[in-house]
Amino acid sequence: MKCTNLRRAGLSIVAAALLTGVTACGGSGGSGDSDGSGGSGASGKGGDGSPRLSPVAALLTAEKSTDGADSAKVESTTTMGSVMSMTADGALGWGDGLTGTLTITYTGGTMADTMRQMGTTSMEARYLPDAYYARMGDTFAEQAGGRHWIRYAYDDLESLGGSSGAYLKDQMQNTTPNQSVKLLLASGDVREVGEEKVRGQRTTHYSGTVEVADLAEKNSNLSQSQLDDLRKTLEQAGVTTETVDIWVDDRDLLVKKVEKGETTAGAYAQTAYYSDYGTEVSAEVPPASDTADFSELVKQQGAGAGS
């Protein structure tokens, strides 16, 4: 496999893994400003005889409780057409910027094939407030001066995807698991499905449909021109709406979420489970001698393509 191809593959995998961290925490969240429209089940009694909250009121409480928990263990599965299927397992914190470590394993699709060419289908991902680090395989390291880690500074994201990259950077620096709750609140389409058991816990299931581009506008610091470009990118990718389902436990904490939608690459879906809220989270910066910078690899890839 040529050096340039290896770098290109490494960069695409890093971008996908970066996105996995965002979505595992509820990436494309909304503002949380809802007028309560679309809610049902606003009256009556709960199973313990207490007054039953409307879906919007219940989700507002869950949003605050989940945000205030600061950290949790996360397990997720993500699929996107024939492009990839992957799992992620670890712990993330959001008290002072996104931090934590996930083990990401590609289980199918073209991404898994690409990873196999680099000697592994699993990698470690470390999230720090200013950058994301991905540990690639030994085959990649042989083509990258012996360095296994790629440092992906959030400030470099825009150079990868323009306005899409700028939005991803914005979300990486502001994302928390409670964004999935905000997602429903901002949609104006909040429905209570009912009480269900999730891994033995009693939970309440809520569901809704959201307009992806509208939520990007409500929950980012992008300029109007960046938002317009992002909307075009989403349309070209076939992403318009997605369904969001969340399950909240008796402590008003998010314990499960499912997001589903369509893209030109096929259907995508992500299921994430959250547990052990308040767990200790650590993520150390890898050794500089074993780390290649994303922007440096981009320059090398450009030079290789021009030679």
131 Cα distance to chain centroid: 15
| Contacting residues for 270 by C-beta, under 8 A, at least 6 apart | 23, 24, 76, 77, 78, 79, 257, 258, 259
Query: Can you state the percent helix, strand and coil of the chain, rounding each to 5?
Result: 40, 35, 30
Q: Contact at 8 Å (CB) between 295 and 159?
A: yes
Tell me how far apart the alpha carbons of residues 257 and 84 are, in angstroms, rounded to a whole number: 20
Tell me how far apart the alpha carbons of residues 267 and 26 are, in angstroms, rounded to a whole number: 18
User: Tokens 């009693």 — which residue?
Assistant: 202
pLDDT tens digits, the chain, 307 residues: what are they?
A: 455 555 555 556 655 655 555 555 555 433 333 333 333 333 333 444 455 678 989 999 999 999 999 999 999 999 988 888 999 999 999 888 789 999 999 999 988 888 887 778 888 999 898 888 989 888 888 888 899 998 988 877 766 656 556 666 666 665 678 878 877 887 778 899 999 999 999 999 999 988 766 655 655 555 677 666 656 666 666 777 888 899 999 999 999 999 888 877 788 898 999 999 999 998 999 999 999 988 887 777 665 555 4
| Contacting residues for 296 by C-beta, under 8 A, at least 6 apart | none
The predicted model scores a pTM of 0.80
